[in-house]
Structure 1
């Protein structure tokens, strides 16, 4: 190996584990260099390696217990003799300091669990012993499940050995409720370095709850949450308003909040504290579960959207029904600061306020009308082309909008229903009006159209010069075009036009449809004359 640590690190970090093992067998020099990298990442263990890992930890634990027992029994004499007759360091003792990553606590519990409940040592004792042997752990991301939270011993272990490292903490206990005092114990030992917190919990509360549980006096409560900038509350539920108010008021430095509501108690508590206790908050993702029976009441959603003291820069929302009047008025107060707006309306509902957002937000640069990962496969909402066109009923001309700053338009349904039975014979006219509206987005860099559906859309923008594509020649900043799952009519003439009028174009998604030979000619021409433009099917 090289004598330069930086080069060794670059090489070893790119090698697979089996290749590292081969390198470690070359000679003593290579073994010294490679072995730390071979041990550094133990997060992903195969079934066989899990058994060996369990055996190594258990043997090390028992050996350590024997050493302590000998020392206690004979004042260290027999311990001294034993150490002279055996290796100084066990495998885990020797290589533990090189371990940087381990499986999450829940996974460790399953790996180190013994089928015999009465067998010693207990699982939590092995885990604690492992953490003691690994002083160099890099635990930036920590995922905690209900099985872990339900264990007193695991709570103590996590608080003592892991929380002070963590930057991204996820706690999921959605399937069954977790006792309030357990969650509060964990959060009271909040890591000072934490930047992102995700909670998905159903909290149960009883009068005899041990809220001041003090089984480990060495772990103190931390009030320093200044590093926390992003919080996700996913399907949180619980009737104790006192707990939620205690928790939410500690989020005083967050800037981004993602909220998937399960009940109104948490939402009401959140609406109560946002303005007073979260002064830096300027981004909100308000997502209603598509499987939920109903949305939150309109006035409660409006209260949540009124919760930014600075004014929202980013608002992303998904609704199961049409947006209410109170919600729309609350959002309108933030039009002057709004930069990114994403709205998803489940089913076939149409967000009528979208035109108002586009017309009244001078700083808006990104519009997203649908994101595929928010919907089950059987639901594909759409935004009607005539709504997007927004013509004056008297003159037939497009209404003015403040669109000069818009650089990203992600409308995975705008391409649908351009040709509609309600507008017979008007397919070409409607397409050209859509192009007229798109042409107003003079700073557009990203244009995504069409749904990520299992079948191609037939009644959609053709993206051909004949249908009106030439109207978009002013989009000089366009870099990315996505027309996936749309039956476009892009051919050789169209791609030649694109490269001439869109000089910054670097990627096209959805061009290769195999509907005609013209598709193949267009792709071959791009590969030959503009190889820097990526073409994806």
Structure 2
């Protein structure tokens, strides 16, 4: 080795564990250089045999440490007895006899200490005692816990003592002095206490099933101070009941490092817990009461600094209400709140605590991401929206969340601060509800009413053309909107656009043949029913969003719907829409220099070669055009784009039809 840290690091990174183990045995110099790299990452230890060897090292260190503690206790006891004897001797004032007794007693203590040292040296000192400070990386909690599981008696990987029969007898004698064999959780905690340089994982996943044991609860308590993301997980989603004081025990041991808290469990109080059985659980109700009392008087350490809290599936009974009230008091720095499936009690405690306990709340996500139906009522949604004292910047509603009268009216209190609004799949949301949002939100940069989280029975939000144009009746000009210079993402279905180029006869779409001059049927700009003036007005409104980067006028091209070919034709393919051609007024969108995405999925557009050439020329940042179908007149346009602009994505909506 070069004894130069940079070069040694390069060399050791090229070696596997077997090669590094060989280098350690070369000489003392190589041993001191290579050993830290050998012990750096325990996760690289593979194979059941090697894992059991690692467990044996930790187990030996555990027994040695226990023996040292017992010896220290005995030594302290002897010293205490010595002090008592000295006091008695001072009272009797027998100096000579006192000195003789002191010498005899010191000799006795020294003999006991020498015996302990001899016993410690005779027992194999595991490398963990010396190299524990070199261990930096370990596997995740669930994976690393398997390293400490004892092998089965008939397992071929069961290890024998490689240190000789004499030392094996000493090992057995010392093990007999330990009242109880250590559990995997105890070995895990002992390992953590001996290795202080470990780079702990930022994410800690708590298994609700493991919290039935106080042994696992103590382990989670040791890992909690290092967590930045804390989540509860379970293998039984509908049976994940837990006493809330156990989660409180873990949360009170977290530090200001904690940023994200994800909760999914059913909180059941001790008295009403149907799973509580003193015969099966090692944690009794008395122990729960003692621990709860200790926690109430304990939390004087660093204040929690949670920024995001996610309630994906939380239910509670009345006995667990104090836990939720305590939890909301720890959320004074929360900026993002995500609420999925919660019962009425959790929602009520949250609504009552938000104005005082969450002064920094900026983002509210309702509905979660798991595809279940939310149980939040319109009143709860309204209270949650109005609960932020400083104004919300982002409101996202997914799943089956529906904004009714109270919810929609509560949005007005956030018009001054609102930046992102995603509220798709809504029965009550229409153009009349969206118009005030577009008109009076000066910071709005995202309006999405198209995104759907996998539901097939939803009614898509649509905005009528007349409402979207928003003409001033006095001047017959477009009324300015507050978000014209800030809006970057607009995903909105605009309906009611007259299409004189399409005739319907018995629900069958007929596209008239073009004249010889290619102009099609008469679609003059006279402003009547047969003209294109309404389309020009829609283009003019869209052209005012000068910073627009994503324009979705059709369905989500990346979702699969199963209601396209139903009798309710207006829920699927759209006929009354923009043609998206230069001939119909597309050139009025020349100001959209920042446009990157265009979606016309399931719209009866007439995009041709001339139109895509105009788009690529005036929208230099364009990278996606969704909705072009190779089975229509757009085939030449698609081939031209694929040849001259291969980087532009062309997802076809028909590929997602059911």
Partner of 2:353: 273
581, 594, 597: which one pairs with 1:481?
A: 597
Q: Distance in 1 between matches of 2:648 and 2:34?
A: 38
Tell me, yes or no, if the aligned pair for 1:409 and 1:446 is still in contact at 8 Å. yes
Q: Distance in 1 between matches of 2:184 and 2:594?
A: 59
Deviations 1:91-119 (A, max 9, x none): 79647733324213x444456445869x9
242, 266, 269: which one pairs with 1:202?
A: 266
1:275 Cα offset (Å):
1.1
228, 234, 247: which one pairs with 2:306?
A: 228
Is 1:303 aligned with 2:406? no
Is 1:58 aligned with 2:137? no
Q: Distance in 1 between matches of 2:11 and 2:269?
A: 50
1:130–1:19: structure 2 CA closer, same or farther, 3 Å change rule? same
Deviations 1:240-264 (A, max 9, x none): 3222111101211222211224211
Q: Distance in 1 between matches of 2:42 and 2:442?
A: 50
Tell me, yes or no, if the aligned pair for 1:384 and 1:417 is still in contact at 8 Å. no
Tell me, what secondary structure is at the counterpart of 1:76? helix
1:67–1:290: structure 2 CA closer, same or farther, 3 Å change rule? closer
1:7 Cα offset (Å):
9.6
Q: Distance in 2 between matches of 1:498 and 1:387?
A: 23
Tell me, what secondary structure is at the counterpart of 2:322? helix
73, 80, 83: which one pairs with 2:121?
A: 80
Structure with greater proportional helix content: 2
Q: Distance in 2 between matches of 1:465 and 1:2?
A: 71
Partner of 1:530: none
Q: TM-score, normalised by structure 2?
A: 0.65
Tell me, yes or no, if the aligned pair for 1:341 and 1:367 is still in contact at 8 Å. yes
Q: Distance in 2 between matches of 1:309 and 1:235?
A: 26
Q: Distance in 1 between matches of 2:41 and 2:59?
A: 24
1:221–1:365: structure 2 CA closer, same or farther, 3 Å change rule? same
What's the RMSD between the two structures over aligned residues?
Answer: 4.6
Tell me, yes or no, if the aligned pair for 1:244 and 1:266 is still in contact at 8 Å. yes
Unaligned runs of 5+ in 1: 528-532
1:225–1:388: structure 2 CA closer, same or farther, 3 Å change rule? farther
Unaligned runs of 5+ in 2: 72-114, 154-179, 272-284, 511-528, 565-571, 652-658
After the TM superposition, which residues 47-446 of structure 1 pair with which residues of structure 2 at under 5 Å, given as runs? Answer: 49=46, 51-52=48-49, 54-68=51-65, 74-83=115-124, 89-90=126-127, 94=131, 97-104=134-141, 106-109=142-145, 112-113=148-149, 121-135=182-196, 136-160=198-222, 162-172=223-233, 174-175=237-238, 176-207=240-271, 210-213=288-291, 220-222=298-300, 224-225=302-303, 227-239=305-317, 240-287=320-367, 295-318=375-398, 320=400, 322-345=402-425, 350-351=429-430, 353-372=433-452, 375-376=453-454, 378=456, 381-386=459-464, 390-391=468-469, 400-411=480-491, 414=493, 434-446=538-550
Deviations 1:275-329 (A, max 9, x none): 1222222221122688666643322221111111111111112363642222122
Q: TM-score, normalised by structure 1?
A: 0.78
Tell me, yes or no, if the aligned pair for 1:364 and 1:405 is still in contact at 8 Å. no
1:466 Cα offset (Å):
4.4
Tell me, what secondary structure is at the counterpart of 1:234? strand
Q: Distance in 2 between matches of 1:458 and 1:8?
A: 66
Q: Distance in 1 between matches of 2:552 and 2:352?
A: 38
Tell me, yes or no, if the aligned pair for 1:483 and 1:510 is still in contact at 8 Å. yes
1:409–1:128: structure 2 CA closer, same or farther, 3 Å change rule? same
Tell me, yes or no, if the aligned pair for 2:416 and 2:442 is still in contact at 8 Å. yes
1:237 Cα offset (Å):
1.4
Deviations 1:129-166 (A, max 9, x none): 33235432232221112123222112212222x22211
1:54–1:279: structure 2 CA closer, same or farther, 3 Å change rule? same
1:42 Cα offset (Å):
5.8
1:54–1:354: structure 2 CA closer, same or farther, 3 Å change rule? farther
Q: Distance in 2 between matches of 1:80 and 1:25?
A: 24
Deviations 1:364-421 (A, max 9, x none): 111122434xx2364565232526953559969766532313333252x638998898
1:31 Cα offset (Å):
11
The number of equivalent residue pairs is 511
1:276–1:423: structure 2 CA closer, same or farther, 3 Å change rule? farther
